[in-house]
Amino acid sequence: MRITYVYDNTFPSSAADAWQVINTVSTLSRQGANVRLAFCESEESPNSGEELLAHYGLEGDIELMPVPLKSARLSGLAGRTLVKLTHPAQAVMRTIAKDTDLVFSRNIPAVVMANLVGRPVEYDTYRPWPSQYRAMAFFFRTLFRSKKMLGAFFHSEHAMNSFANAGISPEKLRVAHNGYNESFFDPPLSTREAREALGMDPDDFVIGYTGRLDLAKGIGALLDIAEHEPSFQFLLVGHGEQAVMDRIERIPNVKLFPWQTHSKLPTYLYACDCLMIPPSSIPLRAGNTVLPIKLFTYFASGRVIVAPRAPDTEELLKHDENSWLLRCDDTVESVKQLQYLRENPELRKRLSDKAREQSREMTWTHRAQFLLTQIDGWMRSSNSV
């Protein structure tokens, strides 16, 4: 199968969406698909697929199709908006001269353009668009009626149900959770080994978080807990808004490490007793974070996952089974629950063992196998109509 994946940003990038895309295309290629990656050309664009994959520590065989952008001369919101509109058009039009069986993208303009030029197309998204913007329900119902619009993969049931509730045929909707790279977690490190590597106290109770340090990600709830209970030690890996970075500097029990490549990240995860998705209602309300991608590396690390009771995370996280769930936006109660976890190592071991067991089917490889099987079925069904 010959797939062109259209992405409306540059490579290489440390952004979460870029990480999701590069893992999708690399694992699809390792499962036998012929994959071309169309992306925005820049001065840092790699010269080959091999060079790009090596940057991320990944393997595979992908062809690169960097697309130059005249609109990139504009800055700010206007420039970015033009990029989002013109890049998909240019990228998809270039596929007409290529042997492409399928256009695949997480960008709506690319999906629309592929449909307009008569290319079979798949949509890949984490956003519950019809729930966030009611006016988009009619747009998506119209789009999904097209024979060329084969279907969509959603990173959570929460997002998929938004489309199903908007009246789109369930036959064109499938959940395909994201994943993690199993090779990055082999061999595993003990907590003591990881802390020795990072120069951390082996006897502290450490709560970890990795990723963007932005208020929209709910990081404020984590910092509230840190300020309320100084006996907890927090290990943060990432970067973000300056106001948040300034606040972190003022909290003595928070240790901040700079952004790390994904292949180096497991050492930081292994150094923790618990790994947290901040117990905040902000990310899901904003729609910018739905079933965060970091959750899958948390599973793979074999550490206790602490997360909010929320409709997206509860698809995979079950309280007192494979995780410990907290009420959103309640600092005092969160501290009490974390103190309970600290005082019960047997409970932490049971939760972490269960999470590690479940992680075996949460790899990017497992996801790619599912994607190809489903795409093949949709294409067969479309051709038989």
Same domain for 347 and 375? no
Average pLDDT, the chain: 93
Pairwise pLDDT comparison (277 vs 383), residue with the higher score: 277
Most confident of 41-55, 66-80, 82-96, 284-298: 41-55
Residue 290 binned pLDDT confidence (cut-offs 50, 70, 90): confident
pLDDT digits over 307-338, tens only?
999 888 899 999 999 999 999 999 999 999 99
Same domain for 217 and 120? no
Same domain for 49 and 83? yes
Same domain for 235 and 375? no
The two three-digit tokens of residue 180, written as one number:
């993690």
Residue 286 binned pLDDT confidence (cut-offs 50, 70, 90): low
Same domain for 121 and 269? no
Residue span of the structural domain in which 211 resides:
182-360
Same domain for 380 and 323? no
The arithmetic mean of pLDDT across residues 223-239, rounded, is 98
> What pLDDT is attached to residue 383?
81
> What pLDDT is attached to residue 97?
61
Same domain for 141 and 193? no
Same domain for 97 and 212? no
* Total tally of structural domains belonging to the chain: 2
> What pLDDT is attached to residue 80?
66
User: What are the start-end ranges of the H helices in 184-293?
Assistant: 191-198, 219-228, 242-249, 265-270, 282-286
Sheet containing strand 304-308, edge to edge, reads 254-257, 233-237, 206-210, 274-276, 304-308, 324-326
The arithmetic mean of pLDDT across residues 219-228, rounded, is 98
Residue 73 has pLDDT above 70, yes or no: no
The two three-digit tokens of residue 342, written as one number:
């600290």
Same domain for 324 and 375? no
CA angle 63, 66, 69 (to 5 degrees): 165
CB 105 within 8 A of CB 114: yes
Same domain for 146 and 168? yes
What are the φ and ψ backbone dihedral angles of 64, each rounded to 5 degrees? -100, 140
What H or E segment, with its residue span, contains residue 38? strand 34-40
Give the number of other CB atoms < 10 A from CB of residue 77.
8
pLDDT digits over 145-176, tens only?
999 999 999 999 999 999 999 999 999 999 99
pTM given for the model: 0.92
pLDDT digits over 330-344, tens only?
999 999 999 999 999
Work out whether the CA dihedral 8, 154, 182, 265 comes out positive or negative: positive
Same domain for 192 and 304? yes
> What pLDDT is attached to residue 182?
94
- The three-state secondary structure class of 190 is coil
Same domain for 116 and 24? yes
Q: Mean pLDDT check: name the lowest of 86-90, 120-124, 260-264, 285-289.
A: 285-289
Residue with tokens 């520590």: 57
Q: What is the CATH number of the domain that holds 17?
A: 3.40.50.2000
